[in-house]
Amino acid sequence: MFGKDLPYNRPIVDSLSTDGGIVRSWCNLGSCCHPVPVQQGLEPEVQPGQDGVGTGAGDEASEFGQLAPVSHGPRLGIGMDSCVIPLRHGGLSLIQTTDFFYPLVEDPYMMGRIACANVLSDLYAMGITDCDNMLMLLSVSQRMSEKEREQVMPLMMKGFRDAAEEGGTSVTGGQTVVNPWIIIGGVATVVCQPIDFIMPDGAVPGDVLVLTKPLGTQVAVNAHQWLNIPEKWNKIKLVISKEEVEHAYQEAMLNMATLNRTAAALMHKFNAHAATDITGFGIIGHARNLAKQQCNEVAFVIHNLPILAKMAAVSKAGGNLFGLLHGTSSETSGGLLICLPREQAARFCAEMKASRTSSVGDGQQAWIIGIVEKGSRCARIIDKPRIIEVPYRGLAAGNAQEGANTVTTPTNTNSSPAEAQPSLAQ
């Protein structure tokens, strides 16, 4: 990220609630998930790429884009989730990524977990399951008192470290600075053999698109902020209750803090051809960026949009709030968008669902949301995509214990991952 002093990325106020939580006003409404534009002169192409960096797809001579393979291994530069650098020794490759952002939830500990999950997700998008080392990047707000710093920052750091430990790695260093605003992020690094990662360029016509987390986190976070802003709340209160907003907010935090590690492992088992993670540019932005990286002339067509329950209605009530139904709503630490062979996709989804009850699983689902067809390396969402209402896992677990499920979905939706398949007719 190379943005500098951009007003729409500035938090409004830095302060604490009485219980030590991060106050909602740290993020401008509707902007806490927005990516930072690339500094002029650094972008190799006009099409944006992952996390605000331009993509050089299609330009093999560009030092920024997907570089031509060299004799001792594949190479990937700026434009996708991680860089891939062949090392001089033993046929090994260095895979590395970095990311950071401003707080978007009130709980400092959960914010730390989300930040770590977001960084690791870039490795997971390449099928890497084991990270060798992490660094933490932390900016302390100069507006915070010493007491506030002592309350908040250790919790954020603990959340980050705990998520790293869950991912089988550790934080060995980093950098802390004083800044007008709180920022948290990190660097993830792994040294591995080419067989350990999947280059994001192998999609073929006939593949299907699978998504491993529901959309709608930006809408959920902002709806939660609006509970205390009457003029905003009045726009959506007819379609959602305050209790439902709280449930959606908790579910969004849970999803953002969930690692994509299980999906990364299953990418190898089911022969994934390419993948990316869904973050600041929304599902359509990242789908387009991934399509541009492909060696084959393909197009991605999205038929289904899995969305957190009630968030589609909230978006409609707000006038297609943040472009959720158009696929442009930002996500933070979102799911993986994976190109899988058609015959493998349903089994992939079934194993993801099974991992929810496994002692080592990280509690995810997956949905078949589209197809890969012949085309000009582009992506689109059909005019009337099926909205899959995804119930909150916390509520579902509670209802299961009672032997009844009170979460209802519209008749045109389907929350079964393996059954949520688009029509494959051309």
Residues 166 and 240 reside in one and the same domain: no
Average pLDDT over residues 296-319: 97
CA distance 113 to 254: 10
In a domain, 386, yes or no: yes
In a domain, 39, yes or no: no
The boundaries of the domain holding residue 103 are 70-197
Residues 219 and 310 reside in one and the same domain: yes
Instruction: Please report, rounded to a whole number, the percentage of residues in the chain having pLDDT higher than 70.
Output: 72
Residues 191 and 204 reside in one and the same domain: no
Total domains in the chain come to: 2
Of the residues 197, 213, 235, which one is the last residue of a structural domain? 197
Of 320 and 4, the structure prediction assigns the larger pLDDT to 320
Assessment of whether the complete model's pTM goes beyond 0.85: no
Average pLDDT over residues 19-39: 39
3-state SS, one letter per residue, for 164-212: HHHCCCCEEEEEEEEECCCEEEEEEEEEECHHHCCCCCCCCCCCEEEEC
Tell whether the model's pLDDT for residue 258 goes beyond 50: yes
Average pLDDT over residues 248-267: 96
Residues 84 and 168 reside in one and the same domain: yes
The per-residue pLDDT for 32 is 39
Tell whether the model's pLDDT for residue 423 goes beyond 80: no
Bridge partners (DSSP) of residue 137 are 175, 185
Tell whether the model's pLDDT for residue 116 goes beyond 50: yes
Residues 173 and 296 reside in one and the same domain: no
Residues 137 and 153 reside in one and the same domain: yes
Tell whether the model's pLDDT for residue 417 goes beyond 50: no
In a domain, 127, yes or no: yes
- Tell me: the pLDDT tens digits for 117-152? 999 999 999 999 999 999 999 999 999 999 999 999
The per-residue pLDDT for 73 is 65
Q: Which two tokens stand for residue 355?
A: 């991992």
In a domain, 6, yes or no: no
Strands 171-179 and 133-141: parallel
CA distance 169 to 341: 31
Of the residues 178, 197, 216, which one is the last residue of a structural domain? 197
Q: Which pLDDT band, with edges at 50, 70 and 90, does 356 fall under?
A: low
In a domain, 404, yes or no: no
Residues 164 and 106 reside in one and the same domain: yes
In a domain, 261, yes or no: yes
Q: What is the identity of the amino acid at 244?
A: E
Residue 191 CB partners (closer than 8 Å, separation 6+): 87, 92, 93, 94, 95, 132
Of the residues 166, 197, 228, which one is the last residue of a structural domain? 197
The per-residue pLDDT for 361 is 42
The per-residue pLDDT for 115 is 97
Residues 181 and 240 reside in one and the same domain: no
Residues 231 and 360 reside in one and the same domain: yes
Backbone angles phi, psi at 60, to 5 degrees: -70, -20
Q: Which pLDDT band, with edges at 50, 70 and 90, does 52 fall under?
A: very low
Q: Which pLDDT band, with edges at 50, 70 and 90, does 8 fall under?
A: very low
- CATH code, domain carrying 132: 3.30.1330.10
Bridge partners (DSSP) of residue 114 are none
Tell whether the model's pLDDT for residue 408 goes beyond 80: no
